[in-house]
Amino acid sequence: MSTNGKTLITTEKLPIKLWLDAEQMDTGALAQARNLANLPFAFKHIAIMPDTHQGYGMPIGAVLATKGVIIPNAVGVDIGCGMCSLRTNLTEIDTDDLKEIVKIIRATIPVGFNRHQTAQDEAWMPKIQGHLPIVKQEYSNALYQIGTLGSGNHFIEIQHGSDGYIWIMIHSGSRNIGFTVANHYHEIAKQLNQAAGEDISNDLAYLPESSEYFELYRNEMNYCLEFALANRTLMMERAKAAFREVFPEVEFSNFINKPHNFAAEEQHFGETVIVHRKGATRARKGEWGMIPGSQGTRSFLVTGKGEAQSFESCAHGAGRIMSRAQARKTLDVKTEVKALQEQGVLHAIRSRKDLDEAPGSYKDIDEVMHNQQDLVDIQIELQPLAVIKG
């Protein structure tokens, strides 16, 4: 059944509203969406964004509102993962200068599993306020990880905008501190649910408001959100420094930051609920955000339309069409590299192990954008010039 450009599934306890055809969802993600719709504390309906694919417990690209509970796995292990963008006043950049900037960025921002050799200035770290046991436990290690990219789909990209300017976009999260917080409270949630005899999948174990761990997790999650922003901000400072080495007079403006793995108390349909966004971006009316494609395809700066039916949310990217293992097994290195070279993109594909982040492993970003015309307005299109990945 289709309504207002969305696909509506009504076979479960709550409706599932899809911003894509149900046939476009992989079976695992669709099964997970059905599980969400049958949770006793889920509110109103489940919203599935057009970039959705299977995750752990909850699909990536899903929005779940709850009453009285918070679900660590509905936020995910990379708490606060998100993107930031920054505009330069440059209108063009030649290949030699681009390569030099990329070289400096690679020398100053650790990628993959690498971290800094020395602790970074503590002034970059968010202040610890209140009782945050896991944050305090991981704080010293985090001093070596702040300002690092990580691996997977995280990236630093230099882009040329349809507004005529060169932009920088960074995608990264809360590194090991967020991972540890997520796993710690997910295990506690499983134990609480089992002790109470709850018939809830372990992947969707929850913390009730009545538990002390509800507020503990929320406070530590919020710290991880701040850390993820600080992590991206420090990397952006290093990227700015790289640009200044090549262009001493360059200026920067229009900083945008948007997380897409978090839970927040919000008002929707006249009630106070906890909105879990896992691989989904908040898109209130007029709110700026970013929706990147894969390396080699366009990205978009958008403003939200504040669509109530999506809980004021939109996609966070192109979304995968194949698993990482499947991409490495089935895609061809030469074909993927050739496509990037033909577009003149300085890319990050060197061997078969890099194919999990090749453009061929992702959905068509133009189709994703078409499917969410009622959620966002495109303001600026960004063409990739250079991509740095872990």
Question: Is the CA virtual torsion 288, 293, 295, 297 positive or negative?
Answer: negative
- Supply the pLDDT for residue 178: 98
Calpha distance 22→154 (Å, rounded) = 28
> Are residue 88 and residue 214 in the same domain, yes or no?
yes
- Supply the pLDDT for residue 348: 76
Is 316 labeled as catalytic in the residue annotation?
yes
> Are residue 181 and residue 329 in the same domain, yes or no?
no
Show the domain range for 105.
Answer: 2-321+362-389
> Are residue 344 and residue 301 in the same domain, yes or no?
no
Phi first, then psi: what are they for 379, rounded to 5°?
A: -105, -45
> Are residue 231 and residue 342 in the same domain, yes or no?
no
> Are residue 351 and residue 228 in the same domain, yes or no?
no
- Structure tokens, 90: 């440059």
> Are residue 10 and residue 109 in the same domain, yes or no?
yes
**CATH, residue 150:** 3.90.1860.10
The pTM for the full model equals 0.95
Question: Is the CA virtual torsion 86, 261, 104, 102 positive or negative?
Answer: negative
> Are residue 149 and residue 187 in the same domain, yes or no?
yes
Calpha distance 235→280 (Å, rounded) = 23
Active-site hit among 160, 184, 316, 347:
316
> Are residue 29 and residue 134 in the same domain, yes or no?
yes
3-class SS string, 300-353:
EEEEECCCHHHCCEEECCCCECCCHHHHHHHCCHHHHHHHHHHCCCECCCCCHH
- Supply the pLDDT for residue 342: 81
Number of structural domains the chain divides into: 2
pLDDT tens for the chain, 390 residues long, are: 334 447 999 999 999 999 999 888 999 999 999 999 999 999 999 999 999 999 999 999 999 999 999 999 999 999 999 999 999 999 999 999 999 999 999 999 999 999 999 999 999 999 999 999 999 999 999 999 999 999 989 999 999 999 999 999 999 999 999 999 999 999 999 999 999 999 888 899 999 999 999 999 999 999 999 999 999 999 999 999 999 999 999 999 999 999 999 999 999 999 999 999 999 999 999 999 999 998 889 999 999 999 999 999 999 999 888 888 888 999 888 888 888 888 888 887 888 888 888 888 888 999 999 999 999 999 999 999 999 997
Query: CA Rg, the chain, in Å?
Result: 20
- Supply the pLDDT for residue 185: 98
Contact 219, 132 (CB under 8 A): yes
Beta bridge partners of residue 262, listed in sequence order: 277
* Helices then strands, each counted (H, E), the chain: 8, 18
CA dihedral 88, 90, 91, 96 (to 10 degrees): -120
CA dihedral 99, 100, 101, 105 (to 10 degrees): 100
Calpha distance 387→154 (Å, rounded) = 10
> Are residue 147 and residue 283 in the same domain, yes or no?
yes
> Are residue 332 and residue 241 in the same domain, yes or no?
no
> Are residue 302 and residue 315 in the same domain, yes or no?
yes
> Are residue 357 and residue 278 in the same domain, yes or no?
no
